[in-house]
Amino acid sequence: MKPLNTEVKTDENVSKEISIEENGTLESVNGNEEHSDVSSMQKDEEEEGKGDGLLFNDLKKKELPQQTDPPSIPVVDLFPSGEFPEGEIQQYKDDNLWRTTSEEKRELERLEKPKYNSVRQAAEVHRQVRKYIKSILKPGMLMTDLCETLENTVRKLISENGLQAGIAFPTGCSLNWVAAHWTPNSGDKTVLQYDDVMKLDFGTHIDGCIVDCAFTVAFNPMFDPLLEASREATNTGIKNSYQVAFDWRGVDLSLGLQEFTRLSRGVDRKEAGIDVRLCDIGAAIQEVMESYEVEINGKVFQVKSIRNLNGHSIGRYQIHAGKSVPIVKGGEQTKMEEGEFFAIETFASTGKGYVREDLECSHYMKNFDVGHIPLRLPRAKQLLATINKNFSTLAFCRRYLDRLGETKYLMALKNLCDTGIVQPYPPLCDIKGSYVSQFEHTILLRPTCKERFCSLGGAHKAITTEIAFEQKSSPFLTELIATATTTMAVTVSASILKSSSACVHMLLSSFSPAASFRTPPQFPLLRSSPITTITRTDRALLLLRPHHPKTSSFCTSPITNANAETTTTSESPPRPAVEDNSVNVKDAANMLDIRVGRIIKAWRHEEADSLYVEEVDVGEAEPRIICSGLVKYVPLDFLQDRSVVVLANLKPRNMRGVKSNGMLLAASDAAHENVELLEPPQGSVPGERIWFGSQEDKENQPAPASPNQVQKKKIWELVQPHLKTDASLVAMLGEHLMQTSAGAVMSRSLKNANIS
């Protein structure tokens, strides 16, 4: 729900911006005043005689219900207005905004609003179910129980109603080398194991408008690169990968937006959009996918795109509507068209990259265009009537027929398949012993923009931009605020931040939920500054005021002392402790050769567009060559002459013709949409070895393990799951600081993030 913004006049006639959230809480962002609840603000209003008490009473009465845990409230009850959250909006590339400014295009969208709302309702159900299922997944679960829990939750939240609302197709939970189309039949005793790679693919629909999304679950971290390959390949096919990277050093910030755009640089790659050829998307997906390698049980595998699996267009009551989106180059020249729905999905494999039909069939679907075909078997006629009534042309599985009370139907089902009325879809498998991962999202090519449903981050995403400048106003700032959208991202070099008076934060939020404000760790006073509104537009411009030591704010962050063994704040939650084996994990971590490094120069990999090649000084006679998959996250200029953290005792790996001798450590959020290199504190010297724990741990730190020992004993695999940043941006191993003699290692802005 978008916050409701109003203005309350004080005795001094000073305008205060008030944000009223879903739960009825009010917060003032003008100065340090905070009103903790509606009743206290209402009392203040009544004392001032403003007569606005009725407004707050109405707000309390209209307080929206919250979803239960486990979820059981239908989403229609959570959105009584009948309007469901919009998906993630992305602008089409190279369209010069003509689509968004065309009244004709906007009118086309208004005509399609009921259909869009149906898809958004299905997407909201999918998002809530996915969030719940992720919270309960664990090794040892019976696959049948997992599927039935998921499907029953969908039925509750979507208010299942025959063909008007319900499940779009059976829950796919294919394991390991099985890529797709496997769900347990009744009586199946398959159990989810720790070393399994499971693709969880399920769909929801309202009035036949289908949302098809999938993700992969792997408990063992050694499979993370495999999952990352398909996740990033899917994102490449969908999202705006043209990211602006701008170096502000020496630039006059009185320039306008047009000049800013001219000076900006970006990475151009084909992505889903109107008039884009499907073959171009496939080529971009394959390029990203096959830039990855994964080491499984000591053996390195080149990740491959499965060449005979594709994404697809989606129609009403038709999961495969005719167009295929390849995930390798050389596909069809067919173009995407305005108004079409697509499921963009990718499959990453350690096997041959080619699937075949195998194992017992569980998925079936009535052919969409089948006409009348006479049937001789009465049982087949009866079964077809059941299928028409409950599924029509939506896919189903044998468990669904069992649930409807059908018995002894296998012969009749075979007859329907033999006559061409029903199509069986057996499991699709790569070679036995291989592993396959999958990620999938549904997108809509609207007349004015592209809408991505089921984004993990929710329906709205606030964008935070950091800009350093000397004056208090700029035509550029005004123009940027006036034209920016919620999907615009600007990455600005932090190296030019020099003082607390030189930092402005803009929140381009379209009144989406509050975002956190981020500044680099070398400027802790800025990170401890309260927010003050200095101007009011449809998108707020927020300025950091000078810090006062006694003033706290929601963006408070402590200063890290170089000699401190811990960094705490009264507002920060306690750091998670590593489990019983914390001592062993810490000892193992201190056997890793993690050093301070400095990038001498960096350039794009000639054979892999997603890779950088860096020449890094790690205190040795010769610099090391290291490859990193940071192209989509970090501008190339940002890497030049940059202090980094290097894991140095890994075996060299061949990365598309370049031998990479080490790994740069970085923090990433849960969705892996934001990645930042870890930063050693100022004063750290290249080659200095990093340790975990206290000064005593540094003095007793053992010699680094050899690369062979690291691989054989799986030291990195043991340590990595415990590496995270805390709420203060400090890199931690459980409760132990990651530090140099100059202080703690930190992330620029990612809190509670994974480190890898």
Of the candidates 84, 94, 63, 101, the residue with the CA atom closest to the CA atom of residue 158: 84
What is the dihedral sign for C-alpha 440, 443, 449, 454? negative
Q: Which residue out of 151, 201, 271, 451 is catalytically annotated?
A: 201
Q: Mapping DSSP to helix (H, G, I), strand (E, B) and coil, where does residue 255 land? A: coil
Q: Which residue out of 151, 287, 293, 312 is catalytically annotated?
A: 312
Q: Is the peptide bond before 70 cis (omega within 30 degrees of 0)?
A: yes
Q: How far, rounded to the nearest angstrom, does the alpha carbon of residue 202 sit from its chain's CA centroid?
A: 18
**345 annotated active-site:** yes
**440 annotated active-site:** yes
- CA dist list (Å): 665 to 416, 612, 643: 56, 14, 11
212 is in an annotated binding site: yes
312 is in an annotated binding site: yes
Residues 6+ apart with CB under 8 A from 282: 325, 326, 327, 328, 329, 330, 331
Q: Mapping DSSP to helix (H, G, I), strand (E, B) and coil, where does residue 146 land? A: helix
Dump the DSSP string for 683-726.
Answer: T--TTPBPEES-HHHHHTPPPPPPHHHHHHTTHHHHHGGGEEE-
103 is in an annotated binding site: no
**580 annotated active-site:** no
Q: Which residue out of 320, 402, 547, 735 is catalytically annotated?
A: 320
750, exposed or middle or buried, with CB in 10 Å at 0-12, 13-18, 19+?
buried
Cβ atoms within 10 A of the Cβ of 470, count? 10
Residue 223: DSSP 8-state: G
Residues 671, 442, 310, CA angle at the centre, nearest 5°?
Answer: 100
- Provide the token pair at 434: 């291989």
Cβ–Cβ under 8 Å, residues 602 and 626: no
- CA dist list (Å): 267 to 117, 281, 631, 743: 33, 15, 8, 35
**587 annotated active-site:** no
Q: Which residue out of 151, 440, 451, 679 is catalytically annotated?
A: 440
Distance between CA atoms of residues 611 and 530, nearest Å: 39
**358 annotated active-site:** no
Q: Which residue out of 232, 280, 293, 345 is catalytically annotated?
A: 345
547 is in an annotated binding site: no
- CA dist list (Å): 129 to 150, 427, 660, 673, 716: 7, 24, 41, 21, 33
- CA dist list (Å): 610 to 308, 331, 348, 488: 23, 21, 16, 21
440 is in an annotated binding site: yes
Cβ atoms within 10 A of the Cβ of 138, count? 11
**212 annotated active-site:** yes
Summarize the annotated binding site as residue ranges: 181, 201, 212, 312, 320, 345, 440
Summarize the annotated binding site for substrate as residue ranges: 181, 320
List, by residue number, the catalytic residues.
Answer: 201, 212, 312, 320, 345, 440
Summarize the annotated binding site for a divalent metal cation as residue ranges: 201, 212, 312, 345, 440
